[in-house]
Amino acid sequence: PLFCAVAGRPPHPPLPASVTRNSRNQPRRASSVLSRRRRQGQPSIPPSYLAAGRGAEVGRQRPRNRNFSMQQMALSAFVTTPSSSYSNNLPRLTACRSQRWHARRLRSQVRAQAQQELQYKKLGDSDLLISEITLGTMTFGEQNTEKEAHDMLSYSFDQGINILDTAEMYPVPTKKETQGRTDLYIGRWMQSKPRDKVILATKVSGYSERSTYLRDNAEVVRVDAANIKESVEKSLSRLSTDYIDLLQIHWPDRYVPIFGEFSYNSTKWRPSVPFEDQLKAFQELIDEGKVRYIGVSNETSYGVMEFVQAAKLQGLPKIVSIQNSYSLIVRCRFEVDLVEVCHPNNCNVGLLAYSPLGGGVLSGKYLDANSAGAKRSRLNLFPGYMERYNASLAKEATDEYVKLAKKHGLTPVRLALGFVRGRPFTASTIIGATTMDQLKENIDAFTSAPRPLPPQVLDDIEILFKKYKDPAIL
């Protein structure tokens, strides 16, 4: 504890060996000597201890502030301020050795808080310990060159990000001419990295009548044994590896409302591949050592429950993750019932949250349509792509969230990513970037921003949520 229970006085822990009175290098001094040193403006203890990390202030007496309690000092140390000024905002006290010891301790705590380490979580029922950031790669091969992709992969790896997310259909927007490029870029980068230090997550496409070019001979892409096996074999080849850590179904084989469609349209129901048949296909790949764990994406509570129940009844592999969209402007789909389904005490399925910035909209860069950042960003480069985030209500809500961020001294990115990061059901947040500056800003939101977001910020977020709910609905 920082303070004694009696009168709020600080405790007196043992000083470092270099400054104790019994130290061989420090002879015992009479109290009169100490008093004289203080009157002469000299430190009463060795400069190396008094001014550790204080540079030009060595040997200079600092005025006491008897009205500034240790409790007040502790509180001021954790006020949200730019990291560069954290230590400058702390009061300098010279009341006694114990106070100086605590002042230095508080400063070190603040500096440590200013640059936090990434945290890691176990993904569902798996033994995968994943970083709280997942690097999304869907722009590699379309908006990013191979060199840019490799630079971002290396930077992320050096920052402690150990999980990459790709898909057989990437990059986006999807087309036959570029399909698979993302995997190829990752595969060539992986050749210089230890395989067991990188968690590769990829996705097999769901039902599609448009993307038949994904298969050698198919009139429609399905999530059946033949399609799954062909997808995995091609992914392994492109990624230059012999196993996939996490194989996910990109979207269901059955009809579900996704990508901006909110309500279930019963007229769109169609026959689909049974859940147990899909799991049996995954079981074969796991038995062959080509896949370690499986997950789903763009899934509903019904789908998660069916997969979990089928696995339980027939002894088949259980899904460990769900990759769904989640952000300040896309919350209801997950929070209404998937939170309960995926809870560790229920199905224990970890959320990999994608589009935490709403396709980049929540950064605020699209609010000025004529800005350079907006003009070279994907929603403008590819008209009609992710149209749900360009909806007028989504823009209105974004403008309010940007104002909220400024009100609390945060950047829009720190607010948006800090919100998703702080949700108890988030296993990892998938971030993407087309420039190194964007990538650094996104990672910085995890390593330097307040953790968790202050209560007043969260309260203000809920006020806006009640007003706008999910504005990114078509």
Question: pLDDT confidence of 91, banded at 50, 70, 90?
Answer: very low
Contact partners, residue 18, CB within 8 Å, separation at least 6? 25, 26, 46, 48, 49
6 found inside a domain:
no
Tokens of 306: 């069916």
51 and 165 in a single domain? The answer is: no
- Higher pLDDT: 351 or 15? It is 351
Residues 386 and 328 in one domain: yes
pLDDT at residue 195 above 80? yes
User: In this predicted structure, what is the pLDDT of residue 373?
Assistant: 61
What CA–CA distance (Å, rounded) separates 119 from 134?
A: 12
Task: Give the confidence band of 297 by pLDDT, cuts at 50, 70, 90.
Answer: very high
Average of pLDDT values for 242-261?
A: 96
- Give strand ranges (E) for 55-185: 120-122, 129-131, 133-136, 163-165
Q: Is the pLDDT of residue 237 over 80?
A: yes
Domain co-membership, 28 together with 134: no
Which residues, listed in sequence order, are joined to residue 208 by a DSSP beta bridge? Answer: 221
Residue 365: what pLDDT?
A: 86
My answer on whether 68 and 104 are in the same domain is yes
Check whether residue 83 and residue 167 sit in a common domain: no
Q: Has residue 271 got a pLDDT over 80?
A: yes
Say how many C-beta atoms besides its own lie within 10 A of residue 435's C-beta: 14
φ, ψ at 186 (rounded to 5°): -65, -45
| Among 114, 149, 172, residue at a domain's last position | 114
DSSP-derived letter for residue 334 is I
Task: Confirm whether 180 is domain-assigned.
Answer: yes
pLDDT, tens digit (0-9, with 9 covering 90-100), for 162-179:
999 999 999 999 999 999
On whether residue 474 sits in a domain, the answer given is: no
**pLDDT, averaged across the chain:** 83
For the chain, the C-alpha Rg in angstroms (whole number) is 27
pLDDT in tens, 130-152: 999 999 999 999 999 999 999 99
Of 114, 144, 163, the one marking the end of a domain is 114
- The boundaries of the domain holding residue 186 are 120-468
Catalytic residue among 86, 170, 326, 468: 170
Instruction: Assess whether 345 and 413 both reside in one domain.
Output: yes
Of 57, 38, 41, 42, the C-alpha closest to 104 is 57
Residue 30: pLDDT over 90:
no
**170 catalytic residue (yes or no):** yes
> Are residue 32 and residue 147 in the same domain, yes or no?
no
Q: Is the pLDDT of residue 88 over 80?
A: no
**Residue after which a domain boundary falls, among 85, 114, 143:** 114
Considering its fold, how many domains does the chain have in total? 2
